[in-house]
A and B are shown apart, each in its own frame.
Chain A
Amino acid sequence: MTFSGWGRYPRLESRLIEPISTFEIEKSLGGSGQWGPSIIARGAGRSYGDSALAETLVSTRYLDNFSSLTTSDHGHTVLRCASGMSLEKVLETIIPKGLFLPVLPGAKAVTVGGAIAADVHGKNHHIDGSFCDHVESMQVLLATGEIINCNRNAYSELFHATCGGMGLTGIILDAAIKLVPMPSLDIAQRTLVADNLQDCMELMDEHHESKYSVAWIDCLASGAAQGRSVLYLGEHVDEKDAREKSKSGRKGLRAIKRSELKIPFDAPSFLLNKYTMMGFNSAYYALQKNRIAPKRIDYDAFFFPLERLRNWNRLYGSKGFLQYQLAVPPESAYACVSAVLSCASQAGKGSFLSVLKKFGKANNNLLSFPIEGYTLALDFKYEDSLFPLLDKLDAIVLAHGGRLYLAKDARMSKACFRQSYAQWERFAELKQKLDPRGQFSSLQSRRLGLG
């Protein structure tokens, strides 16, 4: 069968294995290596590039059970579940209990295992950090067939390598995640408009205390309007009082299920050109500019606006697209983002959805993406002329001390990776120790020299 990441580039003919239990995986991996070399775990397939592509894919679709939900003496509630469970399924079960996930990426189909492997972040990174910062412990199946329960104290090296480690240390089997209380289903959203990039970054700094914050940015506006953007801020609405009055208790808390639209065919690629993109971006900006009144929207609409179009990746045509997401330290952020936007718009390439967001402090996982500063994400439809442009962008990012997100990457060079991920050597050493035969490897890991 042919597989690809969410960006639908690149594609690879692979063998898919769907183990029905941890035991079955353990049996197959232990010693005999009957799955052959080059295995990588695959969850929902929502990483964009080639992180979850290999000759043999081990699907976690049947590792989809909850194990426990416990509240400690300190009042922390911890959920333990298998790695193939999607965040959407987690929300369906925990929301009625008045609980919520501390970090949510923009895609709810993502699995717990995938969220850990990519150490995903959400709109609240500047306050709450990334997904793995809320993972207490996890079980990892190593290449030897051994199952190790690791956390920040026991097997901490394995823990910090697996968080953000793109599945290269082994197969994540389950995890214990700290949950947070959910006061209501709604988010109070404020919308601010920024005329240019400088404005936008200043607004983000000014509203640093807002729980959720993310900006949509018009990536094709140039000159004085470069970086004009719409900043969305959000806070959970605390409805405790209202709830007590209505006596409905937590009955009102139910996960939201929307009907999703499915795009039945690939958008014809010629529809996506410089002019349609510019038109879309200008129209979106003009529209949002007049919709700045604060409003209450439900969490699903706030966190997962794109998921209403279930396979929105088809919008970029049959050849797919690449997402380019960079993170850059605060002192060089403006210069870097500005240079990247100029370079892309000069090349006449851009996307519907370009996102700018402020990152909080980095954690100490070896390959986690977020570093303190800003992150910018751009989508580009696949075309041969794109690659030279992306190489140019790489040079800009590296010159400003930035790095690229492995979960989105499909083409970064080994040199670029090594220069920007300072701890790559420690990771490679540990990987060599854990998996000397290099059983766990993906197209990406081979490209980046990680075995």
Chain B
Amino acid sequence: MNILLIGANSAIATAVARLYASDGHRLFLVGRDLTKLETLRDDITVRGAVEVALVELDITHTARHTELVERAETALGAIDLAIICHGVLPDQEKCERHFNALQASLDVNVISTLSLLVELGNYFETQGKGSLAVITSVAGDRGRRSNYVYGASKAMISTFLEGLRGRLHDSGVNVIDIRPGLVDSPMTRELKKGPLFSTPERVARCIVKGIQKNRTTLYAPGYWRFVMLVVKAIPQRLFKRLRF
């Protein structure tokens, strides 16, 4: 399989790349830091990736997205699977005080992702097959006071994906919305870890399995579907009083 992996140096993406590599797939890695991309390339080559190409790109340079997809297509032949994994966890308090901080986080988590989805959506529609997977978050299911900037940006992506899924359904393309729960990774280094945290490796196994099974909305690990069912059922009158 030919896989385009965007935001390849995120912990989850790295774990996903390693799983696909050990099954002998071809990968095209996109990330912001060339040294880290090269480290990942060497790593997955040892693990068994057949061919690995990479491109260093700051994903907020949306003007370069058309070119990016073209390069991936040239390198891979055809893209069978594209996974968008990049994102930041913004400082909620800072975003509440300074719009600039909020906007900067939206540039990464929303604008750049939407730009990629336009490019890849069109690519897959023309190709008439393939899978497009995007990592969102369980945080997008509810606007929690402690984390609603991140949550709202992920909710936008999830809603967008739902519509795109309908559009691409006619072309035989599957769109997968991956919603990881709390993951013990560099992104959450500053957070206190509780029993609900899982590892990037476990999340990656769920993702690979979910993509293989053509799932649409994928909670990873699976128990988050039930956790969020409960969270979603909390009425506003009560929810607005919760501090989490």
- A65 and B42 form a contact (CB under 8 A): yes
A23 and B189 alpha carbons, distance in the complex (Å): 17
- Taking CB as reference atom, which chain B residue is nearest A22? B39
From A21, A67, A79, A81, contact of B36 by CB (8 A): A21
Q: Is A435 an interface residue (CB 8 A)?
A: no
- Residue-wise interface mask of B (30-56) relative to A, using a CB-CB cutoff of 8 A (1 in contact, 0 not): 000001100110110011100000000
Which parts of B176-222 form the interface with A (CB within 8 Å)? 186, 189
From B40, B46, B186, B189, contact of A68 by CB (8 A): B46
Measured between C-beta atoms, what is the minimum distance from B175 to chain A in Å?
31
- A66 and B186 form a contact (CB under 8 A): no
Q: Is B159 an interface residue (CB 8 A)?
A: no
A23 and B231 alpha carbons, distance in the complex (Å): 40
Count residues of B near A (Cβ-Cβ below 8 Å).
Answer: 12
Q: Is B22 an interface residue (CB 8 A)?
A: yes
- Whether A93 touches B40, Cβ cut-off 8 Å, given contacts A68-B46, A79-B46, is no
A81 and B40 alpha carbons, distance in the complex (Å): 12
A25 and B186 alpha carbons, distance in the complex (Å): 14
A118 and B35 alpha carbons, distance in the complex (Å): 31
Given the complex, which residues of B lie within 8 Å of A68, measured CB to CB?
Answer: 42, 46
Given the complex, which residues of A lie within 8 Å of B40, measured CB to CB?
Answer: 65
Given the complex, which residues of A lie within 8 Å of B48, measured CB to CB?
Answer: 93, 96
- Taking CB as reference atom, which chain A residue is nearest B43? A65
Give the most central of A23, A65, A79, A96: most B CB within 10 Å.
A65
Given the complex, which residues of A lie within 8 Å of B46, measured CB to CB?
Answer: 66-69, 79, 81, 93
A118 and B159 alpha carbons, distance in the complex (Å): 53
A339 and B14 alpha carbons, distance in the complex (Å): 53
Q: Is A334 an interface residue (CB 8 A)?
A: no
Measured between C-beta atoms, what is the minimum distance from A353 to chain B in Å?
29
Interface on chain B toward A: helix, strand, loop, or mixed SS? helix
A96 and B22 alpha carbons, distance in the complex (Å): 10
- Residue-wise interface mask of A (431-443) relative to B, using a CB-CB cutoff of 8 A (1 in contact, 0 not): 0000000000000
Measured between C-beta atoms, what is the minimum distance from A80 to chain B in Å?
8
Given the complex, which residues of A lie within 8 Å of B39, measured CB to CB?
Answer: 65, 67
A21 and B34 alpha carbons, distance in the complex (Å): 13
Given the complex, which residues of B lie within 8 Å of A69, measured CB to CB?
Answer: 46
- A67 and B42 form a contact (CB under 8 A): yes
A18 and B11 alpha carbons, distance in the complex (Å): 13
- Taking CB as reference atom, which chain A residue is nearest B36? A21
Measured between C-beta atoms, what is the minimum distance from B41 to chain A in Å?
10
Q: Is A62 an interface residue (CB 8 A)?
A: yes
Given the complex, which residues of A lie within 8 Å of B22, measured CB to CB?
Answer: 92-93, 96
- B43 and A20 form a contact (CB under 8 A): no
A356 and B36 alpha carbons, distance in the complex (Å): 45
Given the complex, which residues of A lie within 8 Å of B35, measured CB to CB?
Answer: 23
- Whether A62 touches B42, Cβ cut-off 8 Å, given contacts A93-B22, A93-B47, is no
Give the most central of B22, B35, B42, B46: most A CB within 10 Å.
B46
- Whether A66 touches B36, Cβ cut-off 8 Å, given contacts A18-B186, A18-B189, A20-B186, is no
Given the complex, which residues of B lie within 8 Å of A23, measured CB to CB?
Answer: 35
Measured between C-beta atoms, what is the minimum distance from B65 to chain A in Å?
26
A448 and B33 alpha carbons, distance in the complex (Å): 43
- Nearest first, the 8 closest Cβ-Cβ pairs linking A and B are A66-B46, A65-B43, A20-B186, A69-B46, A66-B43, A67-B42, A93-B47, A65-B39
Identify 6 new A-B residue pairs, CB closer than 8 A, beyond the known A65-B40, A68-B46. A65-B39, A65-B42, A66-B42, A93-B22, A93-B47, A96-B48
Q: Which residues of A contact B (CB under 8 A)?
A: 18, 20-21, 23, 62, 65-69, 79, 81, 92-93, 96
18 A-B contact pairs sorted by A residue (CB < 8 Å): A20-B186, A20-B189, A21-B36, A65-B39, A66-B42, A66-B43, A66-B47, A67-B42, A67-B43, A67-B46, A68-B42, A69-B46, A79-B46, A92-B22, A93-B22, A93-B46, A93-B47, A96-B22
